[in-house]
Amino acid sequence: MSDATEAPTHTGRQIPDRLQNPLTRALQSWEALLLVVAVAIFIANSMASPYFLDPWNLSDATFNFTEKAMIAFAMALLIISGEIDLSVGAIIALASTAMGLAMQAGAGTPVLVLVGLATGLLCGAFNGLLVARFGLPSIVVTIGTMSLFRGISYIVLGDSAFTGYPSGFAWFGQGYVFWVITVELVIFTIAAIIFGILLHRTNFGRMVYAIGNNATAARFSGIRVERIKFTLFLLTGLMSGIAAICLTSRLGSTRPSIAAGFELEVVTIVVLGGVSILGGSGSIPGVVIAALVMGLVTFGLGLLNVPGIVMSIIMGLLLIGVIALPRLWSMARRR
């Protein structure tokens, strides 16, 4: 990467490519700090509970974050571009409902998967159309579609539920690929790699950052801003569809209240992972670590029999604390 030693082709003064070693930068990054937090929680958990280090328990614990994190990867790109999608939980509900209807019509596992993916994509396309084509603010649009998508589920299901999914369908949410490695964990890992490459190693990812930092200047640089934003909503819808398949498969049933509140937990993971809520910065490794932190905290507190309400209080405090820390630090330093 460093070919700064090459002879200058012009007479201007030589500007070095980089001043800071990438390794130094990585060590000073948010991700590094978050990793330390994750390790600390891991150690604390293993000391607090004798059951924590059991491989099967840890494997179970991954369900706390895998489905949410899948969406969080796509959401991270969306938030970096300066948009947001609050309808992801509702997309899961609608996709799950659609799969339930397909199941009642006698569809097999492959068709159910296709229905789940297609519903996610359609919902994402709807959001994307409203935001990218008509220029509406995404926070308003997706608060609207959040009610819309879940409302359809409620109309279809009312108080009832879809149950009796085919046994092959259970593989996605209950299956193991190898020993304690779940199918969901594999999907999570593959999604992390794909989204990591997409954001950090492709032209597309570079444009996402450019749009998030200054959408006007990005447009003035010949970037098709609307097209990229539309694609990001599509991707978020698709990942919500995949999460819907996993969650429905794991629960073995569909209720209209499925994945309620997912959107906030997904956004929490993304922001905890160091993605600026204002757009323009953040990374996939950060989101991965944040997902692990979320999972570890929830699981550790669960082992200690901490009630769910207290757990959500602790998660909220963790989020605010972690977000406020850098700002407090820089304020203290400026004095």
Q: In this structure, are strands 162-163 and 253-254 parallel, antiparallel, or unpaired?
A: antiparallel
Single out the segment in contact with another protein by CB under 8 A; choices: 107-115, 125-133, 143-151, 195-203. 195-203
Rounded alpha-carbon distances, angstroms, from residue 149 to 16, 119, 140, 206, 264: 52, 10, 14, 32, 16
17 lies in the binding site for another protein (CB under 8 A): yes
330 lies in the binding site for another protein (CB under 8 A): no
79 lies in the binding site for another protein (CB under 8 A): no
Rounded alpha-carbon distances, angstroms, from residue 89 to 43, 67, 96, 224: 32, 11, 11, 29
For another protein, give the closer residue by CB, 15 or 309. Answer: 15
230 lies in the binding site for another protein (CB under 8 A): no
3-state SS class at 38: helix
224 lies in the binding site for another protein (CB under 8 A): yes
Tokens of 100: 């339930």
159 lies in the binding site for another protein (CB under 8 A): no
- Rounded to an integer, what distance in angstroms lies between the CA atom of residue 289 and that of residue 89? 22
133 lies in the binding site for another protein (CB under 8 A): no
Tokens of 281: 């910065």
Q: Which of 7, 16, 159, 332 touches another protein (CB under 8 A)?
A: 16
Rounded alpha-carbon distances, angstroms, from residue 183 to 110, 259, 298: 16, 19, 21
Evaluate whether 135 touches 145 at the Cβ level (below 8 Å).
Answer: no
135 lies in the binding site for another protein (CB under 8 A): no
What is the identity of the amino acid at 96? S
Find the binding residues for another protein in span 279-318 (CB under 8 A): 280-281
Q: Which of 20, 24, 167, 330 touches another protein (CB under 8 A)?
A: 20
Q: What are the residues whose beta carbons fall under 8 Å from the beta carbon of 255, sequence distance 6 or more?
A: 157, 161
Single out the segment in contact with another protein by CB under 8 A; choices: 13-21, 81-89, 134-142, 307-315. 13-21
3-state SS class at 138: helix
210 lies in the binding site for another protein (CB under 8 A): yes
For another protein, give the closer residue by CB, 199 or 258. Answer: 199
Considering only CA atoms, which of 318, 255, 332, 231 is closest in space to residue 41?
A: 318
Residue count at the site for another protein (CB under 8 A)? 39
For another protein, give the closer residue by CB, 8 or 316. Answer: 8
Single out the segment in contact with another protein by CB under 8 A; choices: 1-9, 35-43, 57-65, 308-316. 1-9
For another protein, give the closer residue by CB, 223 or 239. Answer: 223
Q: Which of 202, 277, 320, 321 touches another protein (CB under 8 A)?
A: 202
Tokens of 38: 């994750």
For another protein, give the closer residue by CB, 24 or 305. Answer: 24
209 lies in the binding site for another protein (CB under 8 A): yes
Q: Which of 19, 23, 309, 332 touches another protein (CB under 8 A)?
A: 19
Q: Which of 5, 7, 15, 305 touches another protein (CB under 8 A)?
A: 15
Quote the least distance from Cβ 218 to another protein, whole Å. Answer: 6
Label residue 14 exposed, middle or buried (CB < 10 Å: 0-12, 13-18, 19+).
Answer: exposed
Evaluate whether 240 touches 73 at the Cβ level (below 8 Å).
Answer: no
Sign of CA dihedral 44, 45, 48, 54: negative
Single out the segment in contact with another protein by CB under 8 A; choices: 132-140, 217-225, 254-262, 298-306. 217-225
For another protein, the binding residues (CB under 8 A) are: 1, 3-4, 6, 8-20, 201-207, 209-210, 213-214, 216-224, 280-281
